[in-house]
């Protein structure tokens, strides 16, 4: 009989995932509200064969070298820019993530954020709370219509595609840019493929759905804001570093664009004295796009199943570097 593998979980995740892990592994959980420190991670991974990590944990080559028994890293997220995947592959460590289960939840939220910014919901609620609501006003809190506006999607993967679907209900014209064209979705949803400049120039709302990679780092900066309409609004539920945040501030203050809703920031958490937080036309929320009870539970079981499969030498359902197992030969 094989020994029960030891697994480290870097935060409390929904119980369904922990229960699943406990059935197959010896599990240790970091129960702090904040992520484990680097020192804690280095120490805890000394003996661990598997780690269930969060996007707040940096899993790099140094950490892997301090974890000689580590065979699998299962990220509780769709994004995995917190993990050095190449270093993992070189060390025969399987990396997994949680795509699919959070697609609709994240798209729902992104649309919510879009609507909040377009119709000034946060600002308006604040106005009421501050006791400033005196009467119904013809000019009070005027915003922009979503319906029949042009939505520009940068990145048309799962979440971008789910945004496009929602946009059809609002009769929006949808432009998209991606490295890959998606002819089926173009046809089914009436999407229009365009180069990045055209998407930026023609869209009323721009929503980012790319992973963070060296190519997408600061993909939206001063030049891109200049290209956008002065009435344009940006929403970002991907990764903070896809946007040059200083340039975003300047664009919002100078009127180069008219609003932004960001669920992701650079750094995270955002400093509480960040100047963006002083702007009425910017809504900042704490990286919660996938935060529905249902999605987070599914993410927990998916991350746990992936980890167990990888530790048992089976191909997990959601590998990032499946070649690790192919190289070793499947058992
Ligand atoms: C959240 O940002 C995720 O990548 O799942
Ligand atoms: C607004 O409430 C209206 O009735 O027009």
pLDDT above 90: residue 36: yes
Q: What share of the chain is helix, strand, coil (3-state, %, to 5)?
A: 40, 15, 45
pLDDT in the model for residue 3: 81
Q: In the chain, which segments carry CATH 3.40.50.720?
A: 6-101+293-330, 103-284
Does domain 103-284 bear CATH number 3.40.50.720? yes
pLDDT above 60: residue 259: yes
Indicate the Cα dihedral angle 221, 122, 269, 251, nearest 10°: 20
Query: What are 167-226's pLDDT values in tens digits?
Result: 999 999 999 999 999 999 999 999 999 999 999 999 999 999 999 999 999 999 999 999
108: its two tokens: 């729902």
- The Å distance, Cα 136 to ligand 2 centre, comes to 9
pLDDT in the model for residue 2: 63
Ligand 1, atom 5, residue with closest C-alpha: 77
Pocket probe mutation, ligand 1, options 78, 82, 266, max atoms within 8 Å of Cβ: 78
Ligand that lies nearest to the alpha carbon of residue 289, given by its number in the listed order = 1
Which ligand 1 atom sits nearest the alpha carbon of residue 79?
A: 4
Domain 6-101+293-330 adopts which CATH fold?
Answer: Rossmann fold (3.40.50)
pTM (predicted TM-score):
0.95
Query: What are 240-257's pLDDT values in tens digits?
Result: 999 999 999 999 999 999
| Residue ranges lining ligand 1, Cβ < 6 Å | 55, 77-79, 102, 290
Known catalytic membership, residue 97:
no
Of 97, 287, 296, 305, which is the active-site residue? 287
Ligand that lies nearest to the alpha carbon of residue 290, given by its number in the listed order = 1
pLDDT above 90: residue 299: yes
**Shortest CA distance to 80 belongs to which of 325, 297, 318?**
318
Rounded to 5°, the CA angle 13-14-15 comes to 110
Other beta carbons less than 10 A from residue 133's beta carbon: 12
- The Å distance, Cα 138 to ligand 2 centre, comes to 10
**DSSP string for 210-263:** ----TTTTT-B-HHHHHHS-TT-EEEE-S-GGGB-HHHHHHHHHHTSSSEEEES
Ligand that lies nearest to the alpha carbon of residue 138, given by its number in the listed order = 2
Tokens 């490295």, located at residue: 179
Known catalytic membership, residue 287:
yes
Phi and psi for 247 in degrees, rounded to 5?
A: -65, -35
Ligand 1, atom 1, residue with closest C-alpha: 77
**Shortest CA distance to 277 belongs to which of 301, 245, 312?**
245
pLDDT in the model for residue 331: 43
- The Å distance, Cα 259 to ligand 1 centre, comes to 23
105: its two tokens: 């939840």
* Distance from C-alpha of 108 to C-alpha of 166, rounded to nearest angstrom: 8
Share of the chain above pLDDT 90, in %: 97
The mean pLDDT of 285-306, rounded to a whole number, is 98
The mean pLDDT of 96-114, rounded to a whole number, is 98
Higher pLDDT, residue 302 or 325: 302
Helices (H), 26-84: 38-44, 61-65
Pocket probe mutation, ligand 1, options 74, 79, 103, 159, max atoms within 8 Å of Cβ: 79
Mean pLDDT over the full length of the chain: 97
Of 62, 268, 278, 323, which is the active-site residue? 268
- The Å distance, Cα 215 to ligand 1 centre, comes to 18
Which ligand 1 atom sits nearest the alpha carbon of residue 239?
A: 2
pLDDT in the model for residue 305: 98
- The Å distance, Cα 152 to ligand 1 centre, comes to 21
* Distance from C-alpha of 91 to C-alpha of 88, rounded to nearest angstrom: 5
Other beta carbons less than 10 A from residue 77's beta carbon: 20
pLDDT in the model for residue 326: 77
CB 147 within 8 A of CB 170: yes
220: its two tokens: 């939206």
Ligand 1, atom 3, residue with closest C-alpha: 77
Query: What are 47-78's pLDDT values in tens digits?
Result: 999 999 999 999 999 999 999 999 999 999 99
Tokens 């029949």, located at residue: 148
- The Å distance, Cα 142 to ligand 2 centre, comes to 13
**Shortest CA distance to 152 belongs to which of 120, 122, 197?**
197
Ligand that lies nearest to the alpha carbon of residue 140, given by its number in the listed order = 2
Known catalytic membership, residue 123:
no
Of 97, 209, 239, 296, which is the active-site residue? 239
- The Å distance, Cα 28 to ligand 1 centre, comes to 23
């Amino acid at each position: 009989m094989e020994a029960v593998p030891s697994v480290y979980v870097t935060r409390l995740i929904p119980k369904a995932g922990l229960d699943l892990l406990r059935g197959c592994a010896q599990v240790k959980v970091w129960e702090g509200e904040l992520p484990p420190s680097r020192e804690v991670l280095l120490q805890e991974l000394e003996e661990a064969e598997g780690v269930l990590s969060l996007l707040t944990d940096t899993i790099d080559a140094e950490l892997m070298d301090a974890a000689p028994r580590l065979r699998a890293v299962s990220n509780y997220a769709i994004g995995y820019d917190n993990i050095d995947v190449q270093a993992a592959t070189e060390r025969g460590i399987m990396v997994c993530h949680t795509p699919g289960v959070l697609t609709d939840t994240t798209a729902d939220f992104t649309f919510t954020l879009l609507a909040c910014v377009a119709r000034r919901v946060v600002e308006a609620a604040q106005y009421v709370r501050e006791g400033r609501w005196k009467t119904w006003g013809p000019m009070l809190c005027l915003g922009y219509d979503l319906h029949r506006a042009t939505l520009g999607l940068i990145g048309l993967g799962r979440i971008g595609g789910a945004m496009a679907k929602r946009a059809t209900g609002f009769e929006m014209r949808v432009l998209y840019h991606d490295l890959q064209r998606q002819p089926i979705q173009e046809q089914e949803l009436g999407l229009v493929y365009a180069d990045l400049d055209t998407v930026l120039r023609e869209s009323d709302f721009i929503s980012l759905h790319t992973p963070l990679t060296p190519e997408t780092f600061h993909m939206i900066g001063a030049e891109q804001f200049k290209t956008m309409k002065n009435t344009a609004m940006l929403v970002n539920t991907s990764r903070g570093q896809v946007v040059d945040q200083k340039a975003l501030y300047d664009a919002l203050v100078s009127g180069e664009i008219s609003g932004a809703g960001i669920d992701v920031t650079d750094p995270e958490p955002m400093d509480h004295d960040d100047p963006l937080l002083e702007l009425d036309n910017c809504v900042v929320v704490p990286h919660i796009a996938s935060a529905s009870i249902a999605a987070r539970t599914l993410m927990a079981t998916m991350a746990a199943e992936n980890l167990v499969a990888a530790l048992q030498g089976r191909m997990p359902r959601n590998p990032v570097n499946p070649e690790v197992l192919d190289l070793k030969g499947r058992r």
